[in-house]
Amino acid sequence: MANVAVPKEQQTAYQRWEMSSFGDDKPTAAMMARPKKKLDESNHAVNQILENVRKEAYTKGMQEGFAVGMAKAKEHAAEERQQFVQLMDNFSLALEKADEAIADELLSLALDLAKSMLKVKLNVDTSAVIPVVVDAIHYLPHVQKPARILVHHEDAHILREYLAEEISSQHWQIQEDSSIERGGCLVETGANQIDASNQMRWKRITDALAKHDDWLLP
């Protein structure tokens, strides 16, 4: 039996219920479009939230990264500054040591030259012993017998020739001693002894300069 469409106002209540229950009334395009619009709006909202979260995370990461980078840069700069200060201190110390070494070498050179010149003078100037003996005698507070002047035998002749009057007036005895180098002397009295040998006088000079330099060495 063919289905004959019955107008809605002529349908029974059951027929109207049956047709409604089994979807006889089809949804319109507007009704189908509303869920899709809501879905698009929801997706857009979610995307916007995600974008905002991403931007906030990026901004926060940049700020934190900048802060960490600045802290590292300051730390590195402080380390480099400390290294530079240490380098300058080491350089200054090296210069001081170099100056000390140069000064020490110059002093050694000056002493060597002075010693060589003195030895030449003592060998050439036969009268060099005279001021040495006079200074040694005058250094004594008083002369107590026996009073002796010990000198090299060649210097003994010089003293007897040039200081005969002074020596005899103070009762000095001149004694020859081959162990005493020319130009030096030993002055002995009953209470005192003055070593005015070349070696001892040179030692006093080098001690005053805080420099060890043996007179007997070339």
Cis before 35 (ω within 30):
no
What mean pLDDT do residues 22-43 have? 55
Calculate Rg over the CA atoms of the chain. 60
pLDDT confidence of 202, banded at 50, 70, 90?
very high
pLDDT the model gives residue 70: 67
CA nearest 193: which of 156, 118, 140? Answer: 140
Q: How confident is the model at residue 41 (pLDDT cuts 50, 70, 90)?
A: low
Summarize pLDDT for 125-146 with one digit per residue, the tens: 888 999 999 888 888 877 777 8
Q: Provide the token pair at 200.
A: 């001892």
Assess whether pLDDT exceeds 90 at residue 195: yes
Q: Looking at 53-57, 119-123, 157-161, which range is the least confident one? A: 53-57
Least-confidence region, from 5-14, 52-61, 160-169 = 5-14
Which residue has better confidence, 134 or 16? 134
- The answer to whether the beta carbons of residues 173 and 143 sit under 8 Å apart is no
* CA nearest neighbour of 167 among 158, 154, 179: 158
Q: Between 61 and 212, whose confidence is greater?
A: 212
Phi-psi region of 84 (alpha: psi -120 to 50; beta: other; left: phi over 0): alpha
As a whole number of angstroms, the distance between CA 197 and CA 183 comes to: 8
Q: Report pLDDT for 151.
A: 95
pLDDT value of residue 69: 66
- Is the whole model's pTM more than 0.85, yes or no? no
Kindly tell me if the per-residue pLDDT of 22 is higher than 50.
Answer: no
Which class would CATH give 127-208?
Answer: alpha beta
